């Protein structure tokens, strides 16, 4: 299974367009999700999920920036800005769960100013079910539980970010 973006190299710095926009966090980016592509899914994949996680966030448990479930198996990627809050950039049937910002959709990078570069791990999950049984108001923790319970395989791609 492979996951990639042309927006930045794996384990390299992401452009400012993928930075969150919230003054309280000192972030003033465009909050645009990168275009993502994938290939080589396991033959028995029935649906997909996507998560974006910052393990370096100073929370004691990291920070979940995006959780998307019920992506149809025939989907080969997501266009840039697919993570809009209204879900209009996603394939039919896909569901964005509430991220750790408390919003729906992609929540861009916003590490504390002056902190070391944070890792943003984009992870595509191949699932053994057509659809995860999660309601639209489920927490991302419930969604991630169901993802891992039904996962066949996964692939990751990591972006770095810091605010100086």
The 10s digit of each residue's pLDDT in 57-101 is 999 999 999 999 999 999 999 999 999 999 999 999 999 999 999
Determine the Cα–Cα distance for residues 138 and 141; give it in Å rounded to an integer.
8
The pLDDT of residue 122: 98
Fold of 2-161: Phosphatidylethanolamine-binding Protein (3.90.280)
Q: Are 52 and 65 in contact (CB under 8 A)?
A: yes
Q: Which stretch of DSSP H or E encloses residue 149? A: helix 140-149
Q: What's the gap between Cα 162 and its chain centre? A: 18
Q: Are 109 and 161 in contact (CB under 8 A)?
A: yes
Report the Cα–Cα distance between both ends of the chain, in Å, rounded: 35
The pLDDT of residue 22: 85
The pLDDT of residue 65: 98
Determine the Cα–Cα distance for residues 103 and 95; give it in Å rounded to an integer.
13
The pLDDT of residue 75: 98
The pLDDT of residue 38: 98
Phi first, then psi: give them for residue 25, nearest 5 degrees.
-100, 0
pLDDT band at 25 (very low <50, low <70, confident <90, very high): confident
- Dihedral angle over CA of 45, 93, 108, 111, nearest 10: -60
Sketch the domain layout of the chain as residue ranges.
Answer: 2-161
Q: Are 162 and 111 in contact (CB under 8 A)?
A: yes
């Amino acid at each position: 299974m492979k996951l990639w973006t042309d927006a930045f190299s794996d384990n390299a710095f992401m452009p400012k367009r993928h930075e969150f926009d919230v003054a309280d966090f000192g972030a003033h980016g465009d909050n645009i999700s990168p275009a993502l592509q994938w290939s080589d899914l396991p033959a028995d994949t029935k649906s997909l999920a996507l998560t974006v996680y910052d393990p370096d966030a100073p929370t004691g448990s990291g920070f979940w920036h995006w959780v998307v479930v019920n992506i149809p198996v025939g989907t080969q990627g997501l266009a840039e800005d697919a993570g809009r809050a209204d879900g209009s950039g996603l394939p039919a049937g896909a569901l964005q769960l509430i991220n750790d910002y408390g919003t729906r959709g992609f929540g861009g990078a916003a590490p504390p100013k002056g902190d070391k570069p944070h890792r943003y791990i984009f992870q595509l999950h191949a699932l053994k079910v057509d659809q995860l049984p999660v309601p639209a108001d489920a927490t991302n923790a419930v969604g991630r539980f169901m993802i891992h319970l039904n996962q066949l395989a996964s692939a990751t791609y990591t972006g770095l970010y810091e605010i100086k």
